[in-house]
Amino acid sequence: MIKISVLTKVSFFLMTLIFLSCVQKPEEYAIIETEEGQIVLKFFPDVAPKHVESFKILAREGYFNGTSFHRVIPGFVIQGGDPNSKDGDRYNDGQGGRAGKYYGVGEEENPDTWMLPAEFNDRPHKRGTLSMARSSQENSAGSQFFICVDDLPQLDDMYTVFGEVIEGLDTVDRIVDTLTPRKRNSNYQRPDGDNPVFGMFMDVTIGTVEELKLDLSI
């Protein structure tokens, strides 16, 4: 009788674990708040789970708050998420960032070196796509992300798509129209040529539809 009781308890415990694993968690979204308006993001955890997880971790830490869209290029992208954009030195924007946790790239004991392994997928780089910036090394994505202003098939299979804009493309367009040194002077050669003159800062919030008070019925 004791053996049957133990087996029953173990079976019940395993069934409970299986049931809980099958319960789908509510989908989470992100809102990027800027002075030009909101951008609402939907994630693609099915094709880029590490990138989605890392972005959410950093957003919940407040890592993105106060950073800027430091690279805005008409017909191409708006790019942000670099903590260097908080320090007032426009020339080092685009050189910083890290992953939200250790994913096997970098030194585990040194968070500043954490990078994301590439998760290239078949999602296209179309207008409104959310993708992760990186260096020439495949496994070098950190916190910097970009949103496509136009369809950019030349970026497919080169950068990891991990979401898309579902509201606020008009905000994206206003950001990309912001004045930059290069727009003011096409011969401008300094590193901040595509960095908005007056800054384009953001705050990022993660949550469910209910938590973010989103209306996605339209």
Nearest to 138 by CA among 163, 152, 157, 153: 157
Ordered by where they begin, the domains of the chain are 26-212 (2.40.100.10)
pLDDT tens digits for 59-80?
Answer: 999 999 999 999 999 999 999 9
The pLDDT assigned to 9 comes to: 61
pLDDT tens digits for 114-138?
Answer: 999 999 999 999 999 999 999 999 9
What is the rounded CA–CA span in Å between residue 185 and residue 192? 12
The pLDDT assigned to 60 comes to: 98
**Residue 10: DSSP 8-state:** H
With bands split at pLDDT 50, 70 and 90, how would you rate the model's confidence at 25? confident
Q: What is the DSSP secondary-structure string of 24-88?
A: PPPP-EEEEEETTEEEEEEE-TTT-HHHHHHHHHHHHHTTTTT-BEEEE-TTSEEEE--GGGGSS
Give the list of residues 6+ apart from residue 5 with CB closer than 8 angstroms, or none. Answer: none
Which has the higher per-residue pLDDT, 88 or 32?
A: 32
Cα 53 from chain centre:
9
